Chain A
Amino acid sequence: MTQSPLGEAPSSHVPDSAVPRLPRGVRFRRDEARGGWVLLAPERILQPDPVAVEILTRIDGAATLGAIVDSLSVAFNADRARIDADVRAFLGGLVEKGFVEFGP
């Protein structure tokens, strides 16, 4: 894929009903020693910023993409379309790296 996450990323075509989940081999957990959260993957440690944490904590293997965007829009009292674009761009980047996958 050569598009930027902002543009024609795959997640812009993902239906609201799709469920994002972390595949086996990817874990999201607290990092007590340093504070904050980390996303752990094969030979990778990612440290999400607070906004990314808000998205990742809502990925529970059951919540749909639409429900996650709804929840964030309410929590941050923000424009849904803007949140939707941000979440899709963010997850698109993680999908490309194999750190998130979408299921039905």
Chain B
Amino acid sequence: MTIHTPVPPVETIPAEATGPAVRAVSPAPIGMLAELTHRCPLRCPYCSNPVDLERRSAELDTATWVRVLHEASALGVLQVHLSGGEPTARRDIAEIVRACAETGLYSNLITAGIGVTRERLEGLADAGLDHVQLSFQGADAATTDRVAGLPRAHERKLELAAWVRALGLPLTVNVVVHRANIVQVPLFLELALDLGAKRIEIAHAQYYGWALRNRSALMPTREQVGVAIATVEAARERLRNRIVIDAVLPDYYARYPKPCMQGWGRQSLNVTPSGRVLPCHAAETIPGLQFWNVRDRSVADIWRDSPAFNAYRGTDWMQEPCRSCARRERDWGGCRCQALAIAGDAAATDPACHLSPLHARMGALADADAGTDGAAYDYRRYATEPAEPLS
């Protein structure tokens, strides 16, 4: 699965100076990423799941997920992103959606669109599903099928998109952009419009886990990134009334880091298939962090007291140049996992920031990777293929 913006931006409703207006929601958990399973029929080489995938036998049961959803809602979570792996690989997905609806949580199904029958989707709609986010690996069948590592994937995604719209559910098309599909950005926009999507998420690959492993096969050039960004910006204006375009920028070539998760432990949490609660989906790459599990503790206790959540909360943990930076509560130091991956220290400034002493090295890494042509993918897979079936 791909999750690049699990924290929704808290927006202000546009209004004239004297008219009704909105203010920012206070820092509190507003979003939860529920990674229901790591099982997935796709094998995308940039999957945001950890390299060490969890097995079905380790997954939380239905009752525990229902309890977690109710606890999250009581804590203040407003939106739940039902993800994976492929969330519909769980037989109890409708019960989980119903639990969201019952407790007032806005439910967002993040799906690859494979293996979902029309009846199954109708069941989710009836259970109160609010929104469907469907991934496309390419704008055409050849690209999608190759990147996803699955024959006929594109065709089945198109079919699911049509069902989503026929059921009256709002559709977002999600695209992860990398070397093999970056020239297709205009085609992705057309595809989303053709499918009746009201929103498209164009996320440049973020290099953790599988994507870090495949970075040399995925990294586009600076020039390609520049063209893609300009294309999106132009489309945003041109298509303003037709589709919402959300972009996740590529940070290897950036000047400022992304405000990862809008700050560690500040707005959202992530529950893994086996119940560990993480500040972000890649947090387990940071050694020494202690993650608590919903099997042992309530979501509220974990949010407040878990050592992992408190490790990089706020700004006290920061080193220079972050500590005295005017942007410290805007960028939140960037990404801890990337600081670890590139700088070798999770408390360092994210090297995506031009103020990091490692910034030039990070750009050079990207340039070097972008220059390696035709590297083969190391597709997402279990360390040894699971004996258990996919669903």
Q: Which residues of A are at the interface with B, using a C-beta cutoff of 8 A?
A: 1-2, 4-6, 23-25, 27, 29, 31-34, 38-40, 42-49, 51-52, 55, 86, 89-90, 93-94, 96-98
A-B contacts counted at CB < 8 A amount to 114
Q: Which A residues lie within 8 Å of B133 (CB)? A: 42
Structural contact, B198 and A98, CB atoms closer than 8 A: yes
Nearest B-chain residue to A29, judged by Cβ: B104
Structural contact, A47 and B10, CB atoms closer than 8 A: yes
Nearest A-chain residue to B243, judged by Cβ: A98
Structural contact, B131 and A25, CB atoms closer than 8 A: yes
Chain B interface SS verdict (over half): loop
Structural contact, A42 and B108, CB atoms closer than 8 A: yes
Interface-side segment among B90-98, B164-172, B352-360: B164-172
Query: Sorted from nearest, which 8 A-B pairs have the closest CB atoms?
Result: A33-B76, A25-B170, A52-B20, A51-B20, A93-B14, A40-B106, A43-B8, A42-B131
- Complex: how many Å from CA A5 to CA B74? 36
Structural contact, B169 and A44, CB atoms closer than 8 A: no
| Given A24-B130, A42-B131, A42-B198, 7 other A-B residues pairs in contact with their CB atoms under 8 A | A27-B106, A33-B28, A42-B199, A51-B20, A55-B20, A89-B16, A96-B241
Structural contact, B5 and A42, CB atoms closer than 8 A: no
Structural contact, A43 and B22, CB atoms closer than 8 A: no
Structural contact, A97 and B244, CB atoms closer than 8 A: yes
A48-B13, A96-B241 given as contacts; is B76 within 8 A of A34 (CB)?
Answer: yes
Size of chain B's interface in residues, with CB distance under 8 A? 42
Contact among A6, A42, A49 for B20, CB-based, below 8 A = A49
Q: Which residues of B are at the interface with A, using a C-beta cutoff of 8 A?
A: 5, 8-16, 19-26, 28, 30, 74-76, 78-79, 104, 106, 108, 130-131, 133, 168-170, 172, 198-199, 201, 240-241, 244, 246
Contact among A1, A45, A97 for B8, CB-based, below 8 A = A45
Q: Which B residues lie within 8 Å of A55 (CB)? A: 20
- Complex: how many Å from CA A86 to CA B104? 30
Q: Which A residues lie within 8 Å of B172 (CB)? A: 42-43
Q: Which B residues lie within 8 Å of A6 (CB)? A: 16
Q: Which A residues lie within 8 Å of B26 (CB)? A: 34
Contact among B15, B75, B76 for A52, CB-based, below 8 A = B15
Contact among A38, A42, A51, A96 for B78, CB-based, below 8 A = A38
